[in-house]
């Protein structure tokens, strides 16, 4: 983890130097650097995100088959589990595929927490309505939860009437509320990263879903 922390510190400092050469005002350069670093991280994670979104779509499509198996083997949970795993394998779907981006995001978030605690330049620096990137911001805290919630809605397909979707929707709500609570205490620089990351994730999800649904419709035709 220390290697990731140090690498991100050096990377952030490097990107900020490039930005500061063009925009000398720190009230703009640091905020823009955070947005650029977020964008670069999301671009690196694009292949994983696309795989996860596709897995989520396919999981939704096979839910009727999953329900049939659950009803058929309701008195034999072990057999039901075996048949569902076989179904997932046949359809090329991972029941945990949608969790991968979130699992990878947390180490990055922790590393960036270290970054912003070890960069003195953001202290007293404002950006947009944020008065100090080194201090918490109420509006940004609410935005962190709201964007987390809507990004989760796009991934989890809450309209599906099955236990898995209901559980995912509940977890998404709890995680969003949790993000608001912890963002209330975190430096705005870190929360800004999370909000921008969620907004980019929402765009990626919408775009990838449209492409995947079009591809699936062509295959079914």
Count of domains observed in the chain: 1
| pLDDT for the residue 173 | 83
160 in any annotated domain: yes
C-alpha 196/C-alpha 108 separation (Å) is 14
115 in any annotated domain: yes
Tokens of 212: 């995947």
88 in any annotated domain: no
C-alpha 96/C-alpha 105 separation (Å) is 15
Range of the domain at 133: 2-57+98-214
C-alpha 193/C-alpha 11 separation (Å) is 15
Cα 160 off chain centre by = 21
Distances (CA, A) of 18 to 4, 11, 121: 21, 11, 15
76 in any annotated domain: no
Tokens of 23: 């925009």
Tokens of 93: 């779907």
| pLDDT for the residue 164 | 60
201 in any annotated domain: yes
53 close to 97: Cβ distance less than 8 angstroms = no
For the question of whether the overall pTM of this predicted structure is more than 0.85, the answer is no
Tokens 């270290």 sit on residue: 114
Which of 47, 100, 61, 44 has the alpha carbon at shortest distance from 215?
61
Q: CA-based diameter of the chain, in Å? A: 69
153 close to 172: Cβ distance less than 8 angstroms = yes
Tokens of 144: 């962190």
Which of 185, 188, 219, 1 has the alpha carbon at shortest distance from 107?
1
| pLDDT for the residue 13 | 85
The count of other CB atoms within 10 Å of the CB of residue 4 is 15
Tokens of 124: 């007293």
209 in any annotated domain: yes
Tokens of 73: 């083997």
49 close to 204: Cβ distance less than 8 angstroms = yes
180 close to 144: Cβ distance less than 8 angstroms = yes
| pLDDT for the residue 217 | 64
- pLDDT tens digits in sequence order for the chain, 221 residues long: 577 777 888 888 889 899 999 998 988 999 999 999 999 988 988 887 777 777 777 777 777 777 787 777 777 778 877 877 887 777 777 666 556 666 677 777 788 888 887 777 788 888 989 999 988 999 999 999 999 888 888 876 555 555 666 677 778 788 889 889 988 988 899 899 989 999 998 888 888 878 777 766 666 55
| pLDDT for the residue 123 | 85
48 close to 54: Cβ distance less than 8 angstroms = no
78 in any annotated domain: no
| pLDDT for the residue 199 | 93
66 in any annotated domain: no
């Amino acid at each position: 983890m220390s290697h990731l922390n140090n690498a991100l510190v050096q990377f952030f400092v490097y990107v900020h130097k490039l930005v500061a050469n063009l925009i000398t005002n720190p009230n703009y350069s640091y905020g823009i650097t955070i947005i650029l670093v977020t964008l670069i991280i999301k671009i690196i994670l694009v292949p994983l995100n696309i795989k996860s979104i596709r897995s989520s779509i396919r999981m939704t499509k096979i839910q009727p088959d999953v329900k049939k198996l659950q009803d058929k083997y309701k008195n034999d949970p072990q057999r039901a589990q075996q048949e569902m795993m076989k179904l997932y394998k046949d359809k090329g779907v991972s029941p945990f595929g949608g969790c991968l981006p979130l699992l990878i995001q947390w180490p990055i978030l922790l590393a960036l927490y270290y970054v912003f605690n070890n960069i003195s330049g953001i202290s007293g620096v404002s950006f947009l309505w944020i008065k100090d990137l080194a201090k918490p911001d109420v509006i940004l805290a609410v935005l962190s939860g709201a964007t987390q919630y809507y990004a989760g809605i796009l991934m989890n397909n809450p309209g599906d009437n099955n236990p898995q979707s209901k559980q995912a929707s509940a977890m998404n709500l709890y995680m969003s509320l949790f993000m608001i609570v912890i963002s209330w205490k975190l430096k705005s620089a870190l929360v800004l990263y999370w909000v921008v990351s969620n907004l980019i994730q929402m765009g990626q999800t919408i775009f990838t879903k449209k492409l995947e649904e079009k591809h699936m419709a062509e295959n079914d035709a």
